[in-house]
């Protein structure tokens, strides 16, 4: 029986290096030169590219990709352990080649792209020679593909795309957009005529596609296969979000505990107040329940695929949003007035919680998915009484001992006393 909660010593050494590297190299870069890791400015690249090269030299670049695609092929479980560190630092995911939305788009390309498409887009994305965005949700339909209107028409050797997308994260800085249409998934270069990026929102962009023409080979996967590709892409994206959320809530927890031991109120350090202790205890339990759920899900993906783990992924998605909301609020509250400012990370982390509950499908939809999938493994009981109805189970059990009860008055009396006691109790 295999049942293990340990990390191999060799990979733990890598994790220790990552932790030190993020604290001593990435965090200072973020504080002094924010955005350098994403920038195409030569001076910014001169700061960030050497850090990316160190990651590559350690064999940790694009950890989520298989070896044949240029990654180390270590799988989702080790990626989860890595993301427990990377998620604490703003630009760490991109310096390690594991940043959203590129990760999900690369996985989709790896699974469904032709060799020519992989060469044209996957390799440059993996090398961060280009960046991408995922253009799925629509103003009138949210994330429900049955309500989408964006459509591509075939015109000779081209596709003509018309429609409107809402919350295309990082669309403005992307080189290519993965556009989900009613009849397929298409790769659209951002500079293509007819791609109109609206002024707001500034980060999660509103994009209009006005007679956008792309070549025939810009269709990714089969025609009418967009829903299948989207589920593949979003499944990976959701579990990656959950992995990084573990890092965020652990960071908030560290701040909470440090503050509890550092401040006094009503004659004693606030860590001695029972309500603060309750906040710490509840947060500790919730964080570790989330972490184990995420690691179990990552392990399941490694040993099967995202489709087999879809119920677990959905549970991770809404659980991470809930734990992020609860833990960051407690930490912010214990931090006091300082927590309400932008002088610590807590305010930004707290503000992220509602987004986490909506991004990649609202939590309510994922709860419905979990409930429906779980209920497939159950059957309704026969008759009026549930399976665990004790009087009926007792009658069945008495049949097993019928000969003994008939032959021995002491056993019969014992059984009758137990039945009378049970009935008195109800």
Q: Is the dihedral of CA 184, 189, 191, 193 positive or negative?
A: negative
Name the DSSP class of 381.
P
pLDDT digits (tens), the chain, 426 positions: 778 899 999 999 999 999 999 999 999 999 999 999 999 999 999 999 999 999 999 999 998 887 877 778 888 999 999 999 999 999 999 999 999 899 889 989 988 999 999 999 999 999 999 999 999 999 998 888 999 999 999 999 999 999 999 999 999 999 999 999 999 999 999 999 999 999 999 999 999 999 999 999 999 999 999 999 988 787 778 899 999 999 999 999 999 999 999 999 999 999 999 999 999 999 999 999 999 999 999 999 999 988 899 999 999 999 999 999 999 999 999 999 999 999 999 999 999 999 999 988 899 999 999 999 999 999 999 999 999 999 999 999 999 999 999 999 999 999 999 999 988 876
- Going by their DSSP bridges, the two strands 219-220 and 184-189 should be labelled as antiparallel
Task: Give the residue carrying structure tokens 């790896």.
Answer: 110
Query: How many residues are listed for the chain in this entry?
Result: 426
All structural domains of the chain, each given as residue ranges with its CATH number in brackets, are: 9-99 (1.10.540.10), 132-220 (2.40.110.10), 227-375 (1.20.140.10), 390-424 (no CATH)
Q: How far apart are CA 160 and CA 321, in angstroms?
A: 38
Cα-Cα end-to-end distance for the chain: 42
Residue 107 confidence (pLDDT): 87
For residue 96, which of 204, 202, 244 has the smallest C-alpha distance? 244
Q: How far apart are CA 190 and CA 188, in angstroms?
A: 6
**CA neighbours within 13 Å on the CB side: how many for 264?**
3
Q: How far apart are CA 7 and CA 68, in angstroms?
A: 25
Could you tell me where the DSSP H helices lie in 261-309?
Answer: 274-303
Name the DSSP class of 24.
I
Q: How far apart are CA 118 and CA 221, in angstroms?
A: 12
């Amino acid at each position: 029986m295999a049942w293990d909660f340990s990390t191999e010593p060799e990979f733990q050494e890598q994790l220790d290096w990552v932790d030190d590297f993020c604290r001593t190299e990435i965090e200072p870069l973020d504080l002094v030169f924010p955005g350098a890791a994403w920038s195409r400015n030569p001076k910014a690249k001169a700061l960030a590219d050497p850090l990316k090269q160190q990651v590559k030299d350690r064999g940790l670049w694009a950890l989520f990709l298989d070896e044949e695609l240029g990654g180390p092929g270590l799988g989702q479980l080790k990626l989860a352990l890595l993301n427990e560190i990377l998620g604490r630092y703003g630009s760490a995911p991109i310096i390690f080649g594991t940043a959203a939305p590129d990760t999900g788009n690369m996985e989709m390309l790896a699974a469904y792209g032709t060799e020519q498409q992989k060469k044209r887009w996957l390799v440059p994305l993996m090398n961060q020679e280009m960046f991408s965005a995922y253009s799925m949700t629509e103003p009138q339909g949210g994330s429900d593909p049955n309500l989408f209107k964006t459509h591509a028409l075939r015109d000779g050797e081209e596709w003509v795309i018309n429609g409107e997308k809402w919350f295309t994260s990082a669309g403005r800085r992307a080189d290519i957009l993965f556009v989900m249409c009613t009849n397929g998934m298409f790769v659209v270069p951002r500079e293509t005529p007819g791609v109109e990026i609206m002024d707001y929102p500034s980060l999660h962009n509103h994009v209009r596609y006005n007679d956008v023409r792309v070549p025939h080979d810009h269709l990714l996967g089969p025609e009418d296969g967009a829903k299948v590709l989207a589920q593949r892409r979003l499944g990976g994206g959701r579990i990656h979000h959950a992995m990084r959320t573990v890092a965020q809530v652990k960071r908030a927890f560290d701040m909470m505990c440090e503050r509890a031991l550092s401040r006094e109120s009503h004659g004693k350090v606030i860590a001695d107040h029972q309500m603060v202790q309750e906040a710490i205890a509840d947060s500790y339990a919730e964080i570790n329940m989330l972490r184990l759920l995420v690691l179990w899900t990552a392990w399941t993906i490694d040993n099967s695929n995202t489709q087999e783990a879809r119920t677990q992924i959905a549970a991770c998605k809404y659980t991470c949003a809930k734990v992020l909301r609860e833990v960051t609020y407690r930490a912010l509250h214990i931090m006091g007035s300082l927590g309400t400012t932008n002088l610590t990370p807590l305010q930004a982390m707290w503000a992220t919680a509602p987004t986490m509950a909506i991004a990649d499908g609202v939590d309510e939809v994922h709860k419905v998915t979990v409930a429906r999938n779980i209920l497939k493994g159950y059957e309704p009981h026969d008759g009026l009484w549930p399976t665990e109805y004790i009087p009926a189970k007792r009658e069945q059990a008495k049949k097993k001992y019928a000969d003994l009860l008939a032959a021995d008055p002491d056993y019969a009396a014992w059984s009758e006393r137990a039945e009378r006691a049970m009935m008195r109790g109800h």
